[in-house]
Structure 1
Amino acid sequence: MEYRALSGVLARPSDPVRTRVLVVLLAAPGVAILELVRQQTGTAGFCVGLGLAVLPVPPLMAAFRWLGRAAPGPWRQLLFCCGWGACAAALIAIVANSFATQWIAAATADPSDADQLGSVVIAPVVEESAKAAALLLVFVFRRRRLAGPADGFVLAGFTATGFAFTENILYLGNAFDEDVADGTGVLDSVTAATFFVRIVLSPFAHPLFTVLTGLGFGMAALGRRRRSRIGPPLLGLAAAMCLHALWNSSSRFGEYGFYVVYGCVMVPAFGLLLLLAVRIRQRRLRAVGAELAVYAAAGWLGPAEVPALASMPARSLARSLARRTGGRAAGRAVALYEADAAALALLRHRARRGGPARERDFALHERELLRGLWLRRATAGPALARAAVLEELLPPWFDPVPVPARPVVVPGPRPARAGTPDTGASHGHAAHTDASPAGAADARR
């Protein structure tokens, strides 16, 4: 049975039935929302909007994936969040927004007032809540996959990217339909203006809002008390709604209101989140290096592997070296080894800092991750050691391939006894008491 590392913890075995069910559940609202958009924009407008809306999707996905590379999660999980945003969240938003706007217009007999309230009040609440539902599902049913704010950041980014994709189809398609009806030229068209504002100036708008919610869920995943698990997501969601409302109301602040909000709020907020993303990534890599050093001392990793695993360029180089000598299978083995090692380090880091995982859960996941490392070490170890040398991560006198001080026995997958801290090596001679959170705490004392 193959196990894969998922953002700091071990994933469950792949389940084709569960995957098919999720695909069907997302495909149904996906077909519905695309048909609704096509009815509003027309077939020609839909095709134009689709072609233009897809342009910012790959760069945004690559940016959020870059942040998660320190402890990579599976594409299946990321695509679920993106699909939820593009299909389920978009369908909820368009139906709820239309219903609310019509109800307000009927109640006030003022369509312009209804549009304003719908844009500034209703849309931020509905849209951010719909996008946050994907994060809530992961938090409730796959909480172990949220190892911290970085995972919430990435999942929220993918969810919002999918939502913005569908919304951009609607806006660009409507703009094209309006231009066709008016016979407007390309340069003076509403389509060009909409493309410039939504695709060029502010492709990060929806991700920026939803990332605040994602950070809240990531912080909640580290909490031990109920208050610390409920408060951060609610605060993050409230902040996302407020920022979204401010952005939607920018055009109502006068002739230059949009530019003021964009330059004084959106751009600085984007810069702060970008700086935060870089710092989160660096902290994760430092945590990987610090925690894996303990496993290297216990004999599970080569000493030269630790600096390579804590360096993204060295990881990439190790995969390239493995592919040159052993083909794609070897490169894949090194990639899985790196993912398991990062997941193991973050699992231990979280448990050592008092995460909510029980000791038995920690021992079970640690044992399986160690087993996966040992099975691929023959391929990945030399590639990582060579990468560490080529990247000059080791001192000149360091021998990258030392003779093992003692044998290491691969642990079996059977569970540990309840309440017994385990390093995953308790069934062999490589057991090292300091490789468990409890052992680390004893060593500090």
Structure 2
Amino acid sequence: MTMNDPRPGPGHPGYSPGHQRPLPQQANPTWLGHVQPEYYRPAPANSSGRPSPGLPPAPQAPRRRGSVSGLLVAGVFLGFFSLFLVLPFLLGSTGISGFVVGFIASLIPLGTVLLTVRFIDRWEPEPRPLLVFAFVWGAAVSIAVTMILQPYFSAVAGPASGLDYTTFAVTVQAPVVEEFAKSLGLLLLLLFARKHFDGPVDGVVFAFTIAAGFAFTENILYFGRAIAESSDPGTELAVVFFLRGVMSPFAHAIFTGTTGLIMGFAARRWHNGLSVLAFGVGLVPAMLLHSAWNSMGANFLATYILVQVPIFLLAVLVIVLLQVAERRLTRQRLKEYAAAGWFTAAEVEMLATGAGRRSAVRWAASTGRGPQMKALVHAATQLAFTRQRILSGRDVPAHQLDERQQLAEITALRAAVVG
């Protein structure tokens, strides 16, 4: 067995629990990237002794590129046809002037959420085509799915609930149908872009992006109606904007973010059946949070301060803990490549810490090599997460192909930065 061959694990010929090698110290630096002993293998050795700029790039697996572009094309296609249902509804509810004002006003909370997504995603950025797919799904496709499903859900579940129509629509129908519609986009991303959806941080990023799109379209409706249906449109718009754009721009993001978080943990196992199960499980807290939000009613302010604000702060804490774990995991995996001769210890500190990255980019910019250094930082992060996927024990040969290509790319980028 060569160093790069998959180690036998459960379900593989030759696996025996009694012949596991002990994990090296610090192989599991955090709970986020736990590795089973039977799947651990050393990083491939750098046979040249030091990075050489002459290595040719290894071929990439075509199907992985195709999955990203395929999802983008599918998302744009579905989004385009969804507009034929969504746009007439918006225009009919708001009028032209209401739609225009609502559209402009909705850009403010949208920008707030998307800037937050960028902040969360800055360590290991997701491919832009997948983020575009997520936004289009949230802003158009999930709205269309909601509009199609709501009448059927109301006809089937409404009478059985025993609630009056308004209460049912607000506390049951909207949470169930809307969270299902939004999270379908997460399920597609997990099934067809598994390379880029392989952890809880990715799940949160994609969920927040989908939710930002959904809230954007929903805000156009609410802001536009404030203009079209009120005798005092200025005051009404200010009140609705304060409630939705200032007090709760992250409401949908937190609802759907719980689903993305749970699906992200399931993605660590790389199993389609578990992914679908996580989709169902993750919908439960999202629907409950959504229903609780819609049920605040007359006690809105007290409930907002005593319940919703702590939930928001808890969400912030979870995201911070995920980011810390992600950085520790990156550092440990790059240290393993350093042990194999691909980096020096100083380079690992430079590439795997926030302070090191900032210092490196500033230095490279002063020498005219800023873009190359940024590319090197990004490539090293991708390499660390590729290694984590290899150590998960699933789809190992395909990820080792990615690893060889990334090591060649890093070698060339390193040479370009050093000069």
Shared fold, TM over 0.5: yes
Is 2:168 the counterpart of 1:117? Answer: yes
CA contact (8 A) 2:68 2:130 kept: no
Q: 2:245 aligns with which of 181, 199, 206?
A: 199
Report the alpha carbon displacement of residue 336 of structure 1 after superposing the two structures with TM.
2.6
> Distance in 1 between the 2:243 and 2:358 partners?
36
Give the RMSD, CA atoms, in angstroms: 3.0
Q: Is the 8 A contact 1:315 1:338 kept in 2?
A: yes
Q: Give the superposition deviation at 1:17.
A: 7.4
- CA deviation after TM superposition for structure 1 residue 378, in Å: 1.6
TM-score, with structure 2 as normaliser: 0.78
The answer as to whether partners of 1:318 and 1:334 remain within 8 angstroms in 2 is: yes
Instruction: Decide whether aligned partners of structure 1 residues 4 and 259 sit closer, same or farther in structure 2, where only a CA change above 3 A counts.
Output: farther
Which of residues 381, 396, 411 is equivalent to 1:359? 396
Local SS of the residue matching 2:65: coil
Query: What TM-score does the superposition give when structure 1 sets the normalisation length?
Result: 0.74
From 335, 341, 345, give the equivalent of 2:380: 341
Q: Could you tell me which residue of structure 2 aligns to residue 133 of structure 1?
A: 184
What SS does the aligned partner of 1:49 have? helix
TM-aligned CA deviation for residue 59 of structure 1? 2.1
Shift of 1:312: 2.5
Deviates more, 1:23-32 or 1:82-91: 23-32
SS of the equivalent of 2:406 reads: helix
**Is 1:73–2:115 an aligned residue pair?**
no
Q: 1:25 aligns with which of 64, 73, 78?
A: 78
Equivalent residues, number: 361
Q: Please list every run of at least 4 consecutive aligned residues from structure 1 whose deviation after the TM superposition is greater than 6 angstroms.
A: 1-5, 13-18, 102-105
Q: 2:202 aligns with which of 151, 175, 178?
A: 151
8 Å Cα contact 1:3/1:11 also seen in 2: no
Contact kept, 8 Å, 2:190 with 2:275, in 1: the verdict is no
The Cα of 1:178 is off from its aligned counterpart by 1.8
Taking structure 1 as reference, are residues 33 and 148 closer, same or farther at Cα in structure 2, changes over 3 Å only?
Answer: same
Unaligned runs of 5+ in 1: 383-445
CA distance in 1, matches of 2:151, 2:95: 18
Q: 1:62 to 1:123 in 2, by over 3 A?
A: same
> Distance between the aligned counterparts of 1:316 and 1:11, measured in 2?
31
Q: Deviation per CA, 1:282-341, whole angstroms, max 9, x where unpaired?
A: 111111111101212222123322111122243244334434433xxx433322322221
Per the alignment, residue 244 of structure 1 pairs with 290
**Alpha-carbon distance change, 33 to 3 in structure 1, aligned in 2, over 3 angstroms:** farther
3-state SS of paired residue (1:301): coil
The answer to which structure, 1 or 2, has the higher relative contact order (CA under 8 A, 6+ apart) is 2
Aligned match of 1:93 = 146
2:224 aligns with one of 170, 173, 179: 173
Query: Within the alignment, does 1:61 sit opposite 2:114 as a pair?
Result: yes
Q: Give the one of 268, 282, 286 matched to 2:310.
A: 268
Match of 2:319 among 255, 265, 277: 277
Deviation at 1:358, TM superposition (A): 3.0
Q: 1:401 maps to which residue?
A: none
| C-alpha distance in 2 between matches for 1:2 and 1:35 | 50
Whether the 8 Å CA contact 2:94–2:228 is kept in 1: the answer is yes
Q: 2:211 aligns with which of 154, 160, 170?
A: 160
User: Taking structure 1 as reference, are residues 12 and 333 closer, same or farther at Cα in structure 2, changes over 3 Å only?
Assistant: farther
Asked if 1 retains the 8 angstrom alpha-carbon contact of 2:75 and 2:136, the reply is no
- Are 2:338 and 1:301 aligned? no
Cα distance change of structure 1 residues 215 and 103 upon mapping to structure 2, 3 Å threshold = closer
**Contact residue 58 and residue 404 of structure 2 kept, 8 A:** no
Stretch deviating more after TM superposition (26-35 or 285-294): 26-35
